[in-house]
Structure 1
Amino acid sequence: MKNSPSLLSRMFSGSLVLQIAIGIIAGAILGSVSQQAGTQVAFLGSLFVGALKAIAPILVFVLVAASIANQKKNAHTNMKPILMLYFFGTFAAALTAVVLSFIFPTTLELVAAQEVAAPPQGIAEVLNTLLFKVVDNPVNALVHANYIGILAWSIGLGLALHHASDTTKQVFLDVSNGVSQMVRFVIRLAPIGIFGLVANTVAQTGFSSMASYGQIVAVLLAAMLIIALVVNPLIVYYKLKQNPYPLVFTCLRESGVTAFFTRSSAANIPVNMALCEKMKLHKDTYSVSIPLGATINMAGAAITITILTLATVHTLGIQVDILTALLLSIVAAVSACGASGVAGGSLLLIPLACSLFGIPNDVAMEVVAVGLIIGVIQDSAETALNSSTDVLFTATACKAAEQA
């Protein structure tokens, strides 16, 4: 007589997507039925997000260094086409946001600014910050999850170890496989973590606080849906010359859903790494492109910056010509590349875009406060778009290289 599998073994062998869907539904029911119970299980979500954030910097550092150290000579990593897709996709998102903002002009009720962190004062400051992140102390970069610095040091170490002995390379490869195994374990806990996150969100907000900002939320979500379901598929079709939607929906389902609830591109790096492995993509490529994408591929952030800036412009009655709107798209795309990969990271770049129109900083900071109010939906959708697109463009470049 065979022993029936335990609940834990069934959980770890079942469909992760189905389990996450069950977690979402159960969390929403619990949060709506009992606010107290929904708040009490919030620690499950915090533990899950904390585990992802803890393992992600180590995963990126070890995986990138091991991949480069063990890379065969004359191997192609497809990074150039991926970078082109990242930058083009982000600019297309900003341009789409401009068009929608002109078709559906939105105004805001600007009353009083809330206390938020100081925003950057210009593009030069954003680029300067990025440059200094590259030369950050490697230990400090790991502790504070500075992925630009982590990438720089891991690439440098990988190149240095490229000519090391096979034994040394194998050690790094074994460590990389070990960390990857730990990541798989953490990801299997996603249904429990997302259950806690959803229950707490529904219990705390119930989404009622966003009723007065319905139009701005609708325009934001419409722009993100257009990018996710129209623009990105067109880009994929152009590269692969085949139906893009199976790949698009796979990325949205298996990367976008978890990113929606964790609200952190950085925390979703392990999820994206696991998805790339499942899709059998080139490891030397995705080990670099995924953490890089969590930093610079920010289509959702570009949409947020553009739409909230133009809403401020419309509120103040400022006239905008086509050239200025185009300039805003470029500024939003470049600024989005400097957005932090954490919840609400794009909002502090809104004053930078507002400065193009001479909007006072105190008014711009009120708009940041509005962004914080609608962040439950806006930031979740933004992160889902950003993170799923990282995998989508990486997979597109890898599959296009296979077809060539």
Structure 2
Amino acid sequence: MGWWFGMKLWQRVLIALVLGVVFGLGLSQIMGQDAATQFLDQRVRWIGDLFIRLIRMLIVPLIFTTLVSGVIAMGNPAKLGSLGVKALLLYFTTTIFANIIGLVFGTIFQPGRGADLAGVDAVPVATEAPSLTERLLAIIPTNPVAALADGNVLAIIFFSVLLGVSILATREEGKPLGTLFNSASDVVLKMTHYVMEVAPFGIFALVSYTAASQGLEALQSILTLIVAVYLGLLAHLLITYGFLVRVVLGLPFFRFLRGLTDPIAVAYSTASSSATLPVTIAAASDNLGVKKSVAGSILPLGATINMDGTALYLGILALFTAQAFGYDLTLANYVLIAFTAAVVSIGAAGIPSASLFLLAIVLETFGVTPEHTAIIVGFILPVDRIMDMARTAVNVTGDAAVATAVAKWEGELDEECFREPAKV
């Protein structure tokens, strides 16, 4: 196996992705889709589940240690306000652009025209959302230990920032605890590198199961929508993030993308921004030169609230619904769809069945009936995973783009590291 581990990790991950697709589709052709799906579920998928458990194992300790360590590294708690404001403004701005691009591609491709929804099993979706007050109060943990145990990311961020500021405020007395968190952060990042050695095997297992369970037949009936979503996401990545990194920051964009090879591959295979977080933080620190003070604070926040891919997806799905059922949309409807999708996508990470739940809220803006909403959800549900994988990869790229921008503006970016060949 020396030849295998002698290859760069990104090469192994890419090979695993391709082989996973080929193996999954090939097995479904040989055994039949149901038999192949059952076989992979019982014999192969557990490897992917093991990989996901390994990286999820690191999420809480990584956020906790890197964020506390990052606050300490700032030296001045006042910088937190500057970091937070810039990050939130960038996250919301890119999300608005994502939704506009989604509406443009939904208009160009017209994926809902001629969609055959006959015989689709309706899947009702509830539309009751927690109030703004409830969401804000949930950020403050009543029990920090319980928040760590439950993986409540926003609550962990709040407590970690408060602890880091308190360590700084106690000066000499707090130094031993600060040193402990700095060491712990380095140790957890090293664990992340070890876990990533399992990535190619986990990605192969996850992708092969997805390819077999979805099958080519499932894709054909909704192919135009999938193409519109993928091209829209690619356009957002190249235009929005490309403009931010290349034009605004003056940094090489394709070097930026190359540095994110590992987190993009993991995000695509797991369809989880949170599960990819340890890999994203490691790549941002090692490959992009984003210092710990920014990577440890901005990236966990982004994994929780930055859902550009979801916002773009919701815009396209809104137009898909209108076209399929003949709803006439005015300019005001387009504006309302864009704004609503951008706002509600911010809460996607904390809501079960996120994109489908949010879709029901967005469709209400132009009077879609609950029956029509249920039919649309039933139509896209079988292949939602295929589109979710791409959405997550874009979300993770957006997290890193914002972190890189904030780091540069705050003087926390090692540009020499950024411009060096990526450590992938």
Question: Which range moves more in the overlay, 181-190 or 230-239?
Answer: 230-239
Alignment partner of 1:16 is 2:16? no
Q: Secondary structure at the match of 2:328?
A: coil
Alignment partner of 1:333 is 2:336? no
Deviation for aligned residue 1:146: 2.0
Contact 1:260 1:380 in 2 (8 A): yes
How do 1:1-400 and structure 2 match up within 5 A?
Answer: 7=1, 14-34=7-27, 35=36, 38-39=40-41, 40-73=43-76, 76=79, 78-107=83-112, 108-110=115-117, 111-112=119-120, 114-115=122-123, 118-121=126-129, 125=130, 127-136=132-141, 137-162=143-168, 163=170, 164-251=173-260, 253-278=261-286, 279-340=288-349, 345-400=354-409
* Length-normalised TM-score, structure 1: 0.89
Q: Secondary structure at the match of 1:268?
A: helix
Mapped to 1, the partners of 2:165 and 2:226 lie a distance apart of 46
Mapped to 2, the partners of 1:62 and 1:333 lie a distance apart of 31
Contact 1:281 1:398 in 2 (8 A): yes
Deviation for aligned residue 1:153: 1.5
Q: Secondary structure at the match of 2:348?
A: coil
Mapped to 2, the partners of 1:41 and 1:76 lie a distance apart of 47
Q: Secondary structure at the match of 1:165?
A: helix
1:54–1:69 CA distance, 2 compared to 1 (3 A): same
Contact 2:244 2:401 in 1 (8 A): no
Deviation for aligned residue 1:25: 2.8
Post-superposition Cα deviations, 1:355-385, rounded to whole Å, max 9, x if no partner, equal 1112122322332233322213210000010
Post-superposition Cα deviations, 1:318-355, rounded to whole Å, max 9, x if no partner, equal 22121221121111111111102799522210010011
Contact 1:27 1:38 in 2 (8 A): no
1:17–1:176 CA distance, 2 compared to 1 (3 A): same
Contact 2:55 2:278 in 1 (8 A): yes
1:315–1:190 CA distance, 2 compared to 1 (3 A): same
1:117–1:250 CA distance, 2 compared to 1 (3 A): same
Contact 2:68 2:163 in 1 (8 A): yes
* Length-normalised TM-score, structure 2: 0.85
1:65–1:362 CA distance, 2 compared to 1 (3 A): farther
Give ranges in structure 1 of 5+ residues lacking alignment.
1-6
Question: Which range moves more in the overlay, 311-320 or 102-111?
Answer: 102-111
1:320–1:64 CA distance, 2 compared to 1 (3 A): same
1:71–1:232 CA distance, 2 compared to 1 (3 A): closer
Mapped to 1, the partners of 2:190 and 2:93 lie a distance apart of 34
Post-superposition Cα deviations, 1:183-208, rounded to whole Å, max 9, x if no partner, equal 22112211111111122222322243
Give ranges in structure 2 of 5+ residues lacking alignment.
28-35, 416-424
Question: What's the Cα RMSD here?
Answer: 2.6
